[in-house]
């Protein structure tokens, strides 16, 4: 193994920092060591440590629930400890209830993030940090690598009026940080002020690719099956803000996308005309087995990343939105109008972009550069703050 996760480091220390404590673990199926043993089992065997509760983010502790599907609290069948859901039917369900923390002496977070602003696990972490601060409980993050890397940063930040559970803080679409680094960022830049300890990875460098780390990729959610999915997600999650299928119900979600009203050849040609770096577009037809347009023949494209280091997922995703609008707004393409992540008064595409300026630029017929004109200033400001919390060389 080239990289040791924070869990591996903690296990080697026999969880000495948790001795004498009753612990609540915020986790999902990704919280495993190199032998694929789960954090809950390891804590149960650790000398002097008592596992008191599990807390499940979106998709649940066992990771079975689909996107935006509420998860009930229960009792874990393997460990017999109570499981508290952190993703229910209301915004209040996203943070631990005070009574769920009673009797706990520490909270431990171990979930694989994927490096995109929209992925909700890091906001679950932040809300749990707030609850830990209020309850005066120490908070530990067992860090894990970012599967899309720690060097590249791309996008804008969430503007006032556009915060949601896919953009709770003003961080870039592709933030180039680990969960542990983000925990420090949230704690200090946004005044959470919990008693935070990050157990860092060993052997991790900012220039490493996932393929160089020697780690298994455990799907952190049902439609994040591979590192390839994570690579495109900072841009192609934007498809969720439209009535295009984002490829849920296919074998390659977020790499495949389209709809019955899309001409695949015209769409692929239009995207190729943008000369986007590190990616090619293949026209195709696909038949989603569930979710949007289930059972209907969809025209669309598949992304093929040709250079991990050159690829710009956010710019690519914005181009996909722009050309879908140009080619198909008169044929059926539309922005999603249904409530999205507990927000009903702001369009989902604006929540994802963190602003309505990009959508309005697309609708006005502006070129891609003009639609993204505010991103550089946002990114410069974020990069300064980000730099204060980086852990790895």
pLDDT digit string (tens) for 212-232? 999 999 999 999 999 999 999
Q: How far apart are CA 262 and CA 268, in angstroms?
A: 10
> Do 232 and 212 reside in the same domain of the chain?
no
CA-based nearest residue to 244, from 328, 137, 123: 328
* Residue 306 phi, psi dihedral angles, 5° rounding: -100, -15
> Do 162 and 42 reside in the same domain of the chain?
yes
pLDDT at 63: 54
Position 38 in a domain: yes
Mean pLDDT of 324-343: 97
The answer on pLDDT for 1 being more than 90 is: no
> Do 212 and 320 reside in the same domain of the chain?
no
> Do 155 and 261 reside in the same domain of the chain?
no
pLDDT band with cut points at 50, 70 and 90 for residue 378? very high
Position 387 in a domain: no
- pLDDT tens column, 27-73: 999 999 999 999 999 998 999 999 999 999 988 886 555 555 555 55
Question: How high does pLDDT run on average in the chain?
Answer: 95
Position 189 in a domain: yes
> Do 153 and 269 reside in the same domain of the chain?
no
> Do 212 and 289 reside in the same domain of the chain?
no
Q: What is the dihedral of CA 56, 16, 219, 112, to 10 degrees?
A: 80
pLDDT at 67: 52
> Do 211 and 231 reside in the same domain of the chain?
no
The answer on pLDDT for 74 being more than 80 is: no
β-bridge pairing 74-75 and 82-85: antiparallel
> Do 186 and 212 reside in the same domain of the chain?
yes
pLDDT at 72: 54
Q: What is the dihedral of CA 54, 121, 309, 215, to 10 degrees?
A: 10
Own/partner pairs, 70-75, CB within 8 angstroms, 24+ separation = none
pLDDT at 79: 82
CA torsion sign for 235, 240, 244, 248 is positive
CA-based nearest residue to 147, from 213, 82, 92: 213
pLDDT at 62: 67
∠ CA 179-185-186, nearest 5°, is 90
pLDDT band with cut points at 50, 70 and 90 for residue 238? very high
pLDDT at 66: 55
- pLDDT tens column, 257-293: 999 999 999 999 999 999 999 999 999 999 999 999 9
Q: Which residue, of 161, 186, 216, is where some domain finishes? A: 216
Q: Which residue, of 216, 243, 270, is where some domain finishes? A: 216
CA-based nearest residue to 244, from 208, 281, 202, 288: 288
pLDDT at 144: 98
Flag the least confident range among 57-66, 118-127, 289-298: 57-66
The answer on pLDDT for 197 being more than 70 is: yes
pLDDT above 90: percentage of residues in the chain: 93
> Do 241 and 158 reside in the same domain of the chain?
no
> Do 231 and 209 reside in the same domain of the chain?
no
**CB neighbour list of residue 252: distance below 8 Å, 6 or more residues apart:** 228, 229, 302
- Count of domains forming the chain: 2
pLDDT at 171: 98
CA-based nearest residue to 244, from 329, 155, 362: 329
> Do 208 and 232 reside in the same domain of the chain?
no
Q: How far apart are CA 54 and CA 204, in angstroms?
A: 28
The answer on pLDDT for 342 being more than 70 is: yes
pLDDT band with cut points at 50, 70 and 90 for residue 95? very high
> Do 311 and 190 reside in the same domain of the chain?
no
pLDDT at 71: 54
pLDDT above 70: percentage of residues in the chain: 97
Angle between helix 264-272 and helix 313-328 axes, rounded to 10 deg? 130
Cβ neighbours, 10 Å, residue 195: 14
pLDDT at 155: 98
Report the CATH number that the domain containing residue 180 is assigned in CATH.
3.40.50.12170
Sort residue 281 into left (φ over 0), alpha (ψ -120 to 50) or beta: beta
Q: Which residue, of 183, 216, 249, is where some domain finishes? A: 216
Q: Which domain holds residue 278?
A: 227-355
Sort residue 275 into left (φ over 0), alpha (ψ -120 to 50) or beta: left
pLDDT at 73: 57
pLDDT band with cut points at 50, 70 and 90 for residue 346? very high
Q: How far apart are CA 162 and CA 165, in angstroms?
A: 10
pLDDT at 65: 55
Position 221 in a domain: no
pLDDT at 183: 98
pLDDT band with cut points at 50, 70 and 90 for residue 150? very high
């Amino acid at each position: 193994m080239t990289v040791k996760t924070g869990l591996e480091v903690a296990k080697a220390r026999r969880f000495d920092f948790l001795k004498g404590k009753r612990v609540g673990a915020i986790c999902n199926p990704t919280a495993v060591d190199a032998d694929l043993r789960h954090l809950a089992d390891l804590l149960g065997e650790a000398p002097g440590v008592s596992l008191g509760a599990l807390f499940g983010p979106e998709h649940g502790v066992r990771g079975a629930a689909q996107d935006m599907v509420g998860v009930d609290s229960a009792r874990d069948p393997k460990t017999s400890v109570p499981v508290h859901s952190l993703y229910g039917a209301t915004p209040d369900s996203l943070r631990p209830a005070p009574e769920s923390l009673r009797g706990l002496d520490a909270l431990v977070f171990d979930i694989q993030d994927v490096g995109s602003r929209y992925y909700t696990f890091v906001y679950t972490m932040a809300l749990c940090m707030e609850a830990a601060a209020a309850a005066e409980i120490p908070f530990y993050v067992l860090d894990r690598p970012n599967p899309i890397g720690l060097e590249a940063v791309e996008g804008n930040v969430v503007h006032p009026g556009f915060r949601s559970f896919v953009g709770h803080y003003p961080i870039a679409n592709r933030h180039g940080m680990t969960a542990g680094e983000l925990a420090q960022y949230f704690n200090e830049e946004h005044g959470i002020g919990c008693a935070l300890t990050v157990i860092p990875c060993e052997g991790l460098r900012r220039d490493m690719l996932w393929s160089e780390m020697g780690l298994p990729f455990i799907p952190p959610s049902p439609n994040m099956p591979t590192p390839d999915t994570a690579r495109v997600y900072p841009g192609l999650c934007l498809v969720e803000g439209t009535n295009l299928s984002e490829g849920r119900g296919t074998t390659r979600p977020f790499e495949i996308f389209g709809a019955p009203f899309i001409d695949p050849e015209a769409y692929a040609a239009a995207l190729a005309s943008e000369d986007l770096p590190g990616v090619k577009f293949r026209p195709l037809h696909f038949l989603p087995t569930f979710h949007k347009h289930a059972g209907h023949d969809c025209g669309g494209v598949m992304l093929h990343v040709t250079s991990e280091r050159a690829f710009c997922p956010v710019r690519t995703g914005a181009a996909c939105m722009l050309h879908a609008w140009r080619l198909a707004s008169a044929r059926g393409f539309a922005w999603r109008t249904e409530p999205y992540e507990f927000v009903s008064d702001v369009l989902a595409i604006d929540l994802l972009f963190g602003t309505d300026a990009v959508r309005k630029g697309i609708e006005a017929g502006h070129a891609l550069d003009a639609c993204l004109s505010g991103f550089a200033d946002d990114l410069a400001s974020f990069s300064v703050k980000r730099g204060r919390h980086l852990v790895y060389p």
